[in-house]
Amino acid sequence: MGLSPKDRKLLWGNAALRCSWCQKILLNDESKSEEPSVFGEECHIVGKNPTSARSEADLSPEEREVYDNYILLCGNHHKVVDDHRQKFTVEKLKNMKEEHENWVKTNLDSSEKQAIYKRYYKEIVNEWAERIDLEYWDGWTHEITVHPYPQMHSKRFEKFSELNQWMLTRILPGLVEEIDIAFMNFNNVLNDLLLTFQSQTTLIMDGTIMRTEKFYQHKGGSSFDVERYDRLKKDYDEHINLVTDLVFELTRAGNYFCETVRDHLDGEFQLEAGKLPVIIAAGICEEAVMCIPQYSTAGREYTPYHNLEDFKVKRYERDLHTEPLEES
């Protein structure tokens, strides 16, 4: 179940992104780590499961997943309190949490806390930008949107799959809700794009390239079935269109995230580079066109991308999309 977004925001905000024991800011030092990251842990005070530390208290499962039953700790001290559960009782951890939050109120002014929050989000944003190849956006998306052979380098696909998992496991404390929403929206689109693209690919060039397979083609060994060919060709065309539309949607999601970062965190983020484009062409010999897909203002009021099935219907309402296939 876990914490609700509201309770997560309270936990991280009231602790000022610091361990409630040692008061260390829960970010790696950039100068000492090649991959700066958040390493705070949301720890149960009363354990989640019967075998967990301090689980004997009479609380329902729902009562164990609220702000009052969590304390923010670094990884080292989370291990200590759970390994020495007789010493670190429920009462002791509640007192530790209360004392730390009082210390935050007394010793940190709002500007100091805002500086910590800003650093927290900047670490995540900068790593995201590097992992998604933001500077080469039009290049790698072009590899997918050029018909009739959507393709991607195998190493890039692996890299983006790792990004997908990295984004999924980031701790988003809700301190800047708009950034959290845009971040999760991007990852939802990325996940569905990777799964959809991979579902009909074959490896070529000694496994270095993933290319969409023409699964409608007759491969011999039986008589040519016109009806089967037409049906599979339509399925293939629809698959190509869906993958293309998901690339457009990912570009929208990327522009949405970058704009949200500029609005709430860093006004100069990607400002010089500008908006993310996609380059499309109707065929190998057709002239390429650069487009900049974006969500409408109204579409940003909520999470713009919900799920793949919803998108299959609503994609035709977007500013850029493939043409629906004619019913046979």
Regarding whether 278 and 152 lie in a shared domain, the answer is: yes
Q: Do 197 and 236 belong together in one domain?
A: yes
Q: How many domains does the chain have?
A: 2
Is 80 exceeded by the pLDDT of residue 315? Answer: yes
Last residue of a domain, one of 90, 108, 126: 108
Q: How many CA atoms lie within 13 A of 195 on its CB side?
A: 10
Q: Are residues 57 and 184 in the same domain?
A: no
Average pLDDT over residues 83-102: 93
pLDDT per position as a tens digit, 161-180: 999 999 988 877 677 889 99
Q: Which residues of 165-182 are buried (b: 16+ CB within 10 A; e: fewer)?
A: eebeebbbbbbbebbbbb
Percent of the chain with pLDDT over 90: 52
Q: How confident is the model at residue 6, as a pLDDT? A: 81
Residue 243's pLDDT band (boundaries 50, 70, 90)?
A: very high
* Of 3, 35, 1, the residue nearest 173 (C-alpha): 3
Residue tagged 């609005």 (tokens): 263
Determine, yes or no, domain membership for 195. yes
What is the average pLDDT value for the chain, to the nearest integer? Answer: 87
Q: Of the candidates 226, 229, 230, 252, which has an alpha carbon nearest to the alpha carbon of residue 311?
A: 252
Q: Is the pLDDT of residue 317 over 80?
A: yes
CA distance 168 to 84: 31
Q: Which residues pair with 41 in a beta bridge?
A: 73
Q: Is residue 322 part of a domain?
A: no
Round to whole Å and give the CA distance between 78 and 203. Answer: 45
Coil, helix or strand at residue 291: strand
One-letter amino acid of 194: L
Residue 252 lies in a domain: yes
Tens of pLDDT, residues 269-287: 999 999 999 988 755 556 7
The answer to whether residue 326 sits within a structural domain is no
Same domain, 44 and 151: no
Residues 203 and 237 in one domain: yes
Tokens standing for 297? 């203002």
Of 60, 81, 108, the residue at which a domain comes to its end is 108
Residues 303 and 191 both lie in one domain: yes
Residues 82 and 175 in one domain: no
Q: Which domain holds residue 51?
A: 5-108
Q: What is the DSSP string of 94-144?
A: HHHHHHHHHHHHHH--HHHHHHHHHHHHHHHHHHHHHHTTGGGHHHHHHHH
Highest mean pLDDT among 11-20, 192-201, 205-214: 192-201
The yes-or-no verdict on residue 10 having pLDDT over 60 is yes
Q: Which of 47, 73, 108 is the last residue of a domain?
A: 108
Task: Check: CB of residue 73 under 8 Å from CB of residue 81.
Answer: yes
Instruction: State pLDDT tens for residues 289-308.
Output: 889 999 988 767 678 999 99
Are residues 155 and 81 part of one domain?
no
d(CA 211, CA 214): 9
Q: Is residue 142 part of a domain?
A: yes
Single out the residue of 138, 97, 325 nearest to residue 248, CA to CA: 138
Q: With respect to residue 200, please indicate whether it lies within any of the assigned structural domains.
A: yes
CA 289 to chain centre: 28
57 shares its domain with 198:
no
Distances (CA, A) of 63 to 67, 68, 70: 9, 9, 11
Question: Is the domain of 291 the same as that of 312?
Answer: yes
Contact 236, 216 (CB under 8 A): yes
Give the pTM: 0.78
Residue 219 has pLDDT above 80, yes or no: no
